[in-house]
Structure 1
Amino acid sequence: MSLPTSPAAPSAVLADDEPHLLRVLQDRLRELWPELRIVGLASNGVEAAEQIASLQPDVAFLDIQMPGLSGLEVAQGIEGPTRVVFVTAYDQHALEAFEHEALDFVLKPVRAERLQRTVERLQRLLQPAAQAASDDQLARVLQRLMQAQAPAASDPPPGLLRHVRASQGTQIHLIPVDEVLYFQSDDKYTAVRTAGSEYLIRTPITELLQQLDAEQFWQVHRATVINVDFVQTTRRDDNGRLLLRMRGLERELAVSRAYVHLFKAM
């Protein structure tokens, strides 16, 4: 659901799977921050991710628990300059990660006095001098929250993955992981991309990460893991997104803001 826009003031996308809470948040933001343009409303994580990618709002208010994608997963996939505020029912212990960070959170039910502090913090963050510092903070907060909500770890794999059994049409191929440029997941499959071809496996990214050498394979997006040995160059596009050029690959890969800090030394 896209709403009318005007070109000057800061913009926001709001996402919550509970329509009543979405309306309350929208009404209170209009009272506390009249200049804010609410350019999109989303009822699930997939809609939120699509709207953020297409509208590039200054701020996204994301419910953490949503169908399709959680608010954390949506935040992991943000490639542009959008700032994130989580709207959540998490208890205080889970929210300690936010206390000294530039990101913010709003507890449900949304209270005007708490939202006012969030608005004031966002207005400071949206000043040009403040924006560059918050990518690292986003990465730290997401890492802490993902760890907080992750299930207890199972026994570690006996060894690192050296080959993957991947399909291409009706054929099964044994692919050395050292030849893989990147892994990229969608809803059902994970693509295995080499310099010469592309194959499919059913193993999700989260499982692959547990089996791959962390020094060689880096997650750069919610759905993408790259082999850093194949990174050729990095650059910023006109929207400030970090893009990777991989050896043996024509198209560039986007790095979401949660992982930009990995490439600061490159």
Structure 2
Amino acid sequence: MPTAIIADDERLMRDQLRMRLSQAWPELEIVGEAKNGDEAVELVAQLTPDLTFLDIRMPGKTGMEAAREIGNQSHIVFVTAYDQYAVEAFERGAIDYIMKPTEVERLQLTVERLKERLAKPNGAVNDSVTAMLSQLAEKIAAPKPKYLQWIQASIGQDLRMIPVEEILFFRSDEKYTCVQTEKLEALIRKPVRDLAEELDPSLFWQIHRATLVNVNAIEGVTRDIRGRHLVMVKGRPEKLEVSRSFLHLFKQM
């Protein structure tokens, strides 16, 4: 039975990938999970898995840096949301990758390729791939965009500074945008289209022209009697409508 570990700093993404892998490759045993690159390197040394699924961007040691340390100990599969230059390199190289959010068709292709490689001797990372990792690691280390860390919002007559990680969702009407946290609701004048450009896209998904939702606040997705897809938010009664242009984000959930 082949074994694997999953390394991603987002629990939701680890859970989703574990579920998708159980569907696409029931024989694969997930023997461990890591929240960062350092933990991934340690787990590989301890558990010697056949496969290591590495998120490219993680706090501390990146997935690229972890892959270079892991070397030939395990076959590397990168998980990426937006590193297009890396994806292009993977298409030309000997490394597999999975895009976020995980798509069944692409995952099935990756699984078939992995089965073939595991069936061959010395099927893990080779020297030429290690050289490619070094080049990509330099690009990954480039300065990251500076996203909003705080939202300045009005609550009655008061002005509050709200950390973005505490915000469950943003929802706009014609004049204002509602900022909803677990404990409070506030208003700002900035429209969702501007917020979508200023917030980290790995933390906030736009699901409607008037709605942004914190990925970590998503409890699930359901449908109403009209066939509309609705996002359920943890701890909240509201259900946020997903417009057709953003359904691809939840196609596999």
- SS in structure 1 of the partner of residue 93 of structure 2: coil
Give 1:41-190 correspondences, 5 Å limit: 41-129=33-121, 131=123, 134-151=125-142
User: 1:96, 1:147 → 2: CA distance?
Assistant: 16
Alignment of 1:220-239 (within 5 A): none
Gaps (5+ residues) in structure 1?
1-8, 153-266
Q: Report the TM-score, using the length of structure 2 for normalisation.
A: 0.53
Change (3 A) 1:79 1:100: closer
Superposition deviation, residue 49 in structure 1: 1.2
**Equivalent in the alignment of 2:32:** 40
Amino acid at match of 1:70: T
SS of 2:20's partner is helix
Cα distance change of structure 1 residues 117 and 137 upon mapping to structure 2, 3 Å threshold? farther
Distance of 1:24 and 1:71 partners within structure 2: 18
Superposition deviation, residue 80 in structure 1: 4.3
Q: Is the contact between residue 97 and residue 144 of structure 1 (CA under 8 Å) also seen in structure 2?
A: no
Alignment of 1:184-203 (within 5 A): none
Aligned residues: 143
Aligned partners of 1:137, 1:63: CA distance in 2, in Å?
A: 21
Distance 1:93 1:73, change over 3 A: closer
* In 2, Cα distance between equivalents of 1:21 and 1:72: 18
Q: Structure 2 regions of 5+ residues with no counterpart?
A: 144-253
Give the conservation status (yes or no) of the 8 Å contact 1:53–1:79. Answer: no
Superposition RMSD in Å: 1.8
**CA distance in structure 1 between the partners assigned to 2:93 and 2:4 by the alignment:** 20
Shift of 1:97: 1.0
**What does the per-residue CA deviation read over 1:113-134, in whole Å, with 9 as the maximum and x for residues that have no partner?**
11111111110110134627x4
Q: Structure 1 pair 123/67, CA: closer, same or farther in 2 (3 Å)? A: same
Mark the CA change 1:74 to 1:29 in structure 2 (over 3 Å): closer, same or farther: same
1:185-235 CA-partner distances (Å, limit 9, x unpaired) = xxxxxxxxxxxxxxxxxxxxxxxxxxxxxxxxxxxxxxxxxxxxxxxxxxx
Q: Does the CA contact (< 8 Å) of 1:103 and 1:137 recur in 2?
A: no
Cα distance, 1:110–1:42 mapped onto 2, change above 3 Å: same
Tell me the distance in 2 between the aligned counterparts of 1:115 and 1:101: 17
Change (3 A) 1:140 1:97: farther
Contact 1:32/1:119 (8 A) holds in 2: yes
The answer to which structure has the higher helix fraction is 2
Aligned partner of residue 73 in structure 2, secondary structure: coil
- TM-score of the superposed pair, with normalisation by structure 1: 0.50
Which structure has more relative contact order (CA 8 Å, sep 6+)? It is 1
